[in-house]
Amino acid sequence: MKNLNLPISYLKGVTANRASLLLQELQIRTCADLLTLFPYRYIDKTRFYKISQLENNNSEVQIIGKITRIKTVKQQRGSRLVATFIDERGSIELVWFKGVRWIKEVLKVDVPYVVYGKLNSYNNSFSIPHPEMDLFSDYKKKLQTAMQPVYPSTEMLTNKGISNKIIRTIVQHLFLQMDSNIEESLSPSCIAEFGLMSKSEALLNVHFPKSQEKLAQAQYRLKFEELFFIQLQLLRKKLIRKSKIKGYVFDKVGTYFTTFYNNYLPFDLTNAQKRVLKEIRKDVGSHAHMNRLLQGDVGSGKTIVALLSILLALDNGFQAALIAPTEILATQHYNAITELLAKMEVNVALLTGSVKAKRRKEIHRDLEDGTLHLLIGTHALLEDKVVFKNLGIAIIDEQHRFGVAQRSKMWKKNALPPHVLVMTATPIPRTLAMSVYGDLDISVIDELPPGRKEVKTVHRFDSNRLGVFKFLKDEIAKGRQVYIVYPLIQESAAMDYKDLMDGYESIARDFPVPDYQISIVHGKMKPADKEYEMQRFVKGETQIMVATTVIEVGVNVPNASVMVIESAERFGLSQLHQLRGRVGRGADQSYCILLTDFALSSDAKTRLKTMVATSDGFKIAEVDLKLRGPGNLMGTKQSGVLNLKIADLVKDTSILVTARNAAIAVLQDDANLSKPKNSALLKSYTQIQKTSGLWANIS
């Protein structure tokens, strides 16, 4: 057999029934699919443990020793069999719950056995339930296969009798029936440069490792290959986009930009802001189409970068759009920007869901005839009726709206697509960004404006509540305002509302009128009431804002300097970080107090420690990635890049960086992979492109 694309029914041991089950349960159709059904762990029977060396984290172990005693223990239903098993220095229990009578008859006391099984630990003593037992004398006669693969499976497969052993046998047949080596997919120079195992040897060793060392080499090679081809695809996609999709050229720096920059810029730009602006200008000045992700922590000053990019578009005769995820945020942008542009002749409008029909019509008209320069709003901007005369740049605040703008009709009058700048305050760790957004250009504002004081963050237990309240009173006495935030999770919403209301009552008792005024805001309130309560806090009429996470994005009250987070253990890291970003906006020292119960999971402890230790959004995102895995981070769900077969984006970051650099080097030398030395590469690349979904989402 030479063709790996043949269905697996060509293999010995694969009946039609098994073939259809394997397809249904594990999506395995061809021999090639089977070849990349990678074992997720291995049973290592090359190693013997001493009982005294066993540890909690040993999953399966093999030991040699003797049974000293067998007893039957009555339990609620039937009985269990317990054998005491010893080696030179230790003792362990072997336990059976089924077939007790039969097993009791065959077990021999005081005779050497080789025992293999899954280790259980309870109160510092170990046991092995239903172990595999071989008399030592028999064991020596058997030919031992070294490390055995354990394949992914499903309940259905197990129920239908397709055990791991059967899958293993089928894979063995695959290797036996292949009459030639598996073709190499990487170039010889790549293999030599990175000291990689050949593909053929790697596949054999990942299924049937000769040793731990060979297994490690095999896994490295296959992970490298997987990540390399993803990077190759992303980087080529970017290259092609840059060469094929032209963008408008903003080559003029005109009056809008210079007038604003010289007269109305309220502060000096930070170096990071200047650098990012340069990156943007390079894109928009070059005939290329800009598709850029701008990452910058809360408060790093993304808005001004957006505004300067907008003015650049205006200078070149284009209109601009700024889209925010919520009405509050859109309104805030509108207020901030109209204030900054107060003395300039720029026509700016706000379009959200609550804009009345009459005003809406005016906006539509002014957009189409070009009177309106800049439209700020929510996703109301993406409705079909919103048509620009010549949209030059679309700026999107928060990345998860990404994609939406690309499908919009906003620029149906355009000859070319507008430049796109996506701004996000949820930093994505570099390695993840490389994989998920590898085809985008990425800019980072990694510096906060000067004079910003770090928010002092502490973790306190509920039992310290009185102390915390005393502190709040002192801060309020200095004229500051305070947020107290409660968790609200859909699954436990009723309980959470009760906690919020109980909390509110107890706060109202401790902070009585008329000395204190309290606002409360939560999702069950009518929008108008919410707005009223918010405004009271914004205007400083109330000193305390009790709220659920609705305040996570949006509200900007520089005078609020304390953020208290109740049941902080229930919040995710990025949420905690976003909440903390609500304070520290003014000149005063700000504080974040994380209140929790005593009982904390180890993940919760890590989250709290991280928050106390750092305010760097990128560091926090790295920890979050480690805790939750890449699939749960924002914006990654839709990405096909994460369906990895063998590599792990959290654990294999160094392989990822190596693979990306290797892909960059290849493309710099041979962008079309047309040189003879890259023929193997091109072949696999073409094959992968046909089967993977990566290209499906190109705009």
Residues that bind ligand ADP (CB under 6 A): 267-270, 273, 296, 298-304, 425, 449
Q: How far is the CB of 266 from ligand ADP (least distance, A)?
A: 6
Nearest distance from C-beta of residue 175 to ligand ADP, angstroms: 55
Nearer to ligand ADP by Cβ, of 268 and 502: the residue is 268
Provide the minimum distance between the beta carbon of 378 and ligand ADP in the complex, in angstroms, as a whole number.
16
Residue nearest to ligand ADP (CB): 301
217 three-state secondary structure? helix
> Shortest gap between Cβ of 356 and ligand ADP (angstroms)?
28
Q: Given the complex with ligand ADP, which of 35 and 448 has the nearer CB atom?
A: 448
Q: Residue 478 CA to chain centroid, in angstroms? A: 41
3-class SS of residue 456:
strand
Nearest distance from residue 152's CB to ligand ADP, in Å? 43
Nearer to ligand ADP (CB atom), residue 133 or residue 583? 583
Distances (CA, A) of 346 to 124, 307, 519: 73, 12, 37
Q: How far is Cα 410 from Cα 402, in angstroms, rounded to an integer?
A: 15
Nearer to ligand ADP, 480 or 585 (CB): 585
- Closest approach, Cβ 302 to ligand ADP, in A, equals 3
3-state secondary structure of 611: helix
- Distance in angstroms (rounded) separating the CA atoms of residues 467 and 518: 19
∠ CA 376-379-383, rounded to 5°: 105
Q: What distance in Å separates the CA atoms of residue 117 and residue 132, rounded to the nearest whole number? A: 6
Pick from 219, 542, 529, 21: nearest CA to 550: 529
Could you tell me the smallest distance in angstroms from the CB atom of residue 478 to ligand ADP?
21
Residues 6+ away with beta carbon under 8 Å from 107: 67, 70, 83, 133
The amino acid present at 561, given as its one-letter code, is: S
Place of tokens 């000067």: 450
Q: Which is nearer to ligand ADP, 164 or 614 (CB)?
A: 614
Listed in sequence order, the residues at least 6 apart from 380 whose beta carbon sits closer than 8 Å to its beta carbon are 351, 352, 353, 355, 386
Chain CA centroid to CA 531, Å = 33
The least CB distance from residue 262 to ligand ADP, in Å, is: 16
C-beta of 83 vs 448, nearer to ligand ADP: 448
Closer residue to ligand ADP (CB): 65 or 296: 296
Q: How far is the CB of 646 from ligand ADP (least distance, A)?
A: 38
Element at 223 (helix H, strand E): helix 212-244
In the complex, minimum distance from the CB of residue 297 to ligand ADP, in angstroms, rounded to a whole number: 7
Is the CA virtual torsion 465, 467, 469, 475 positive or negative?
negative
User: Which is nearer to ligand ADP, 433 or 647 (by Cβ)?
Assistant: 433
Q: How many CA atoms lie within 13 A of 144 on its CB side?
A: 16
- Closer residue to ligand ADP (CB): 133 or 448: 448
Q: How far is the CB of 400 from ligand ADP (least distance, A)?
A: 16
Report the residue number, 202 or 307, with the smaller CB distance to ligand ADP: 307
Reported in sequence order, the residue ranges of 368-488 that DSSP labels E, i.e. its strands, are 374-377, 391-397, 419-424, 441-445, 456-461, 481-485
Which pair of tokens denotes residue 349? 């409008």
What the block records as the tokens of 620 is: 């926090």
Distance in Å, CB of 370 to ligand ADP, minimum? 28
Helix or strand or coil: residue 683? Answer: helix
Q: Which residues pair with 485 in a beta bridge?
A: 547, 565
Q: How far apart are CA 396 and CA 173, in angstroms?
A: 54
Smallest distance, ligand ADP to C-beta of residue 690, A:
41
Nearest CB to ligand ADP, comparing residues 330 and 649: 330
Count of all residues that appear for the chain in the document: 699
Q: Which CB atom, from 451 or from 512, has the smaller least distance to ligand ADP? A: 451
CA distance 313 to 418: 10
Cα separation, 505 vs 18, in Å, equals 63
Kindly tell me which of 32 and 336 has the beta carbon lying closer to ligand ADP. 336
CB of 385 to ligand ADP, least distance (A): 29
Residue 503: CB atoms within 10 Å = 17
Q: Are strands 112-118 and 60-74 parallel, antiparallel or unpaired?
A: antiparallel
Here the tokens at position 623 are 């920890």
Q: Which residue number, 322 or 573, has a Cβ lying nearer to ligand ADP?
A: 322
